[in-house]
Structure 1
Amino acid sequence: MTGDQVIRVRGEAELVARAGHLFGTVGSEFLCAANDMSTWSRPNDRAAVAQRMGASLAEGVTVRKLYTPTALTDEAGRHHLFEVAAVGALVRVCASPLPHETIVIDRRVMILADPVPTRDRGFTVTSSPSLIEGVCSLLDAVWQASDPLDVYLRRDRPRIDADQRKILRALAEGLTDETAARRLGVSLRTYRRRVAELLASLESASRFQAGARAGELGLTR
């Protein structure tokens, strides 16, 4: 794209067809901002995204990813963020919804997602310097006020001791209470009491909810 070009596309298929080549032109900086994982990284594509990101980072590209806490409520989404952070991407979590769900490439091309519609989502692809500068100014301010992923996960994290971590692993593996109690070397009654205490610590009403909450806080890693 050149000049102040602005194009509108409808749906992900058209976005990929008309703008997909832009992702191979990143020279120095790639910024992705989204409220959750569904806008820019479809589940089946996340492994490929992480692989491409690792290659870009190896070439010296700065990769920044900005999400809201909603992105951490899904186990696959959390895994993707941990994966891209592990290869060197800068990942931050902001407290409030983002003003724009956006991808910016080298501050010369921007893809702006429409609010979620009832039908195929619309996208604006632009190389307009004034539009890009305006959105980037907003996103830069949100970025500075947001927590790095590891800091966000540590903040207000419940205190979980070694025995409770073993219980979390047992719950994640789907062990029966009897099997888990034998593994931990405690009575069935003691095990169930400790499970109840763990649920209380995680402010969870069920074992499933406790597992999700522990994953969100990074306690299962």
Structure 2
Amino acid sequence: MSQPCLGFLGVTESEETLYRRLLRQGVSDDHARAAARAGTDAEATDRLVELGLAVRTHTGVLRPVTPARAVEHLVDHRLDALREELEQTVRTSGVVESLQRERAAAPVRRPPEETPPVQQIEGMEAVRAVIDELTFFARSESLTTNPTGIISPESADFSRPIDLRVLRRGVRMRTLMAAPALDDRPTMAYLRELADRGAEIRISHQPLERMIICDRAAALTPLDPAHTAKGALLTREPGLVATLVTLFDRMWAVAQELPTPDDEPPTGIERRILTSLRTADKDESGARDLGISVRTYRKHVASLMARLQATNRFQAALLARERGWL
């Protein structure tokens, strides 16, 4: 039986040869040497990293990504490319506008010229449909606030395709999150995912007003800020939209940048471990005092030292105090 190849996922024969060789070797001391052994050039190894088939450490070591994860990356690349192609075709074909004209022609609806500048949207399903439509047609800017600071897994699943679609088109995305985001790991993971794709995200320690503004031409605000499931107000009235943009810019100006993973405040258990570094003479006693295994204790210590860039545990405790973690 012939060996399956990765060509259908956009990988060239030379790239696949290099990846398979890396899998057999496990690790390469530098990518140039790996490329030479595979009979190719350094550009091929750069392409492997770009495709998600390998990672390069800060010391130049080239490591292969596990096969399952590598294929997952390749599938994501192909789907992103196909989605971008289809979205471009949709935008240039005018099919959405054509369908909207059909809906507008229905006798139960107002003709487009009579659409009021402020509309009341009732129910979450209707609101989500409006959000989807607004963001689909966004061309330059998307402004969003989240007064709770928490993005549930369900909300992330709904928002991800919309947000990534906006970012792929080069639309500037600015998002303001309330401070509780800092203590919610799933939320921070999603925010960093967006930031990696180009989104600008800030954390506000002041109260936020919930809003979504697209292209400074349309804005969505809740009917009842305390009960957002009731619905929302959609306004295209220039004066109202301009006022909301000004409010957003003021909230943005006083918010802080999204912290990097190294700057992220420690969790409760991590704070207790940092404290134990100053008081416990051995890992065993520190783990026992905290009621965790020595292995778990050491895993946390290693992670904290890496984040603090400390060379020893005493220095880690000092750096943690300097950062206000203790």
Give the TM-score normalised by the residue count of structure 2: 0.45
- Partners of 2:152 and 2:187 within 8 A in 1: no
Residue 62 (structure 1) aligned with residue 145 (structure 2): no
State yes or no: 1:144 paired with 2:253. Answer: yes
What one-letter code is carried by the residue in structure 1 that aligns with 2:253?
Q
Q: Which runs of 5+ in 2 are unaligned?
A: 1-111, 275-281, 301-322
CA deviation profile, 1:106-156 (whole Å, cap 9, x unmatched)? 000100123123x8423100101100111111110110111111279838x
Provide the residue aligned with 2:286 in structure 1: 190
Letter in 2 for 1:67: M
- Structure 2 letter corresponding to 1:79: A
Q: Which has the higher contact order (CA 8 A, sep 6+)?
A: 1
CA gap 1:28/1:18 in 2 versus in 1, 3 angstroms:
closer
Q: Are 1:86 and 2:182 an aligned pair?
A: no
Task: Find the aligned partners of 1:139 and 1:17 in 2 and give their Cα distance.
Answer: 23
Residue 79 of structure 1, CA deviation: 1.8
- The answer as to whether partners of 2:132 and 2:162 remain within 8 angstroms in 1 is no
> Which residue of structure 2 lines up, in the alignment, with residue 23 of structure 1?
135
The alignment partner of 2:175 has SS state of strand
Checking the alignment, whether the CA contact within 8 Å between 2:211 and 2:220 is kept in structure 1 is yes
Q: How does 1:42-191 map to 2 (within 5 A)?
A: 43-98=153-208, 100-113=209-222, 114-117=224-227, 120-150=229-259, 154=263, 157=265, 186-187=283-284, 189-191=285-287
Letter in 2 for 1:13: E
Match of 1:8 among 113, 120, 123: 120
3-state secondary structure, aligned to 1:104:
strand
Structure 1 residues 90 and 18: alpha-carbon distance in aligned structure 2, compared to 1, 3 A threshold: closer
Quote the RMSD (CA, aligned, Å): 3.6
* Paired residue type of 1:12: M
AA in 2 matched with 1:58: R
Describe the superposition over 1:168-201 as per-residue Cα deviations: whole angstroms up to 9, x where unpaired. 9xxxxxxxxxxxxxxxx942x2323467999xxx
Q: How far, CA to CA, are the matches of 2:191 and 2:234 in structure 1?
A: 25
Q: Which string of whole-angstrom CA distances, capped at 9 and with x for unpartnered residues, describes residues 29-77 of structure 1? A: 0111121256xx6532414523432332232210000011123333322
1:35·1:101 contact (CA, 8 Å) conserved in 2? Answer: yes
State the identity as a percent.
24
Secondary structure of the structure 2 residue equivalent to 1:150:
coil
Deviations 1:194-215 (A, max 9, x none): 67999xxxxxxxxxxxxxxxxx
Where do 5+ consecutive residues of structure 1 fail to align? 159-163, 169-184, 199-216
What amino acid does structure 2 have at the position aligned with 1:6?
V
User: Is the helix fraction higher in 1 or 2?
Assistant: 2
**Across the two proteins, how many residue pairs are aligned to each other?**
172
**Cα pair 2:135 2:162 within 8 Å, conserved:** no
* Counterpart secondary structure, 1:63: strand
Give the whole-Å Cα distance in 1 for the aligned partners of 2:190 and 2:131.
23
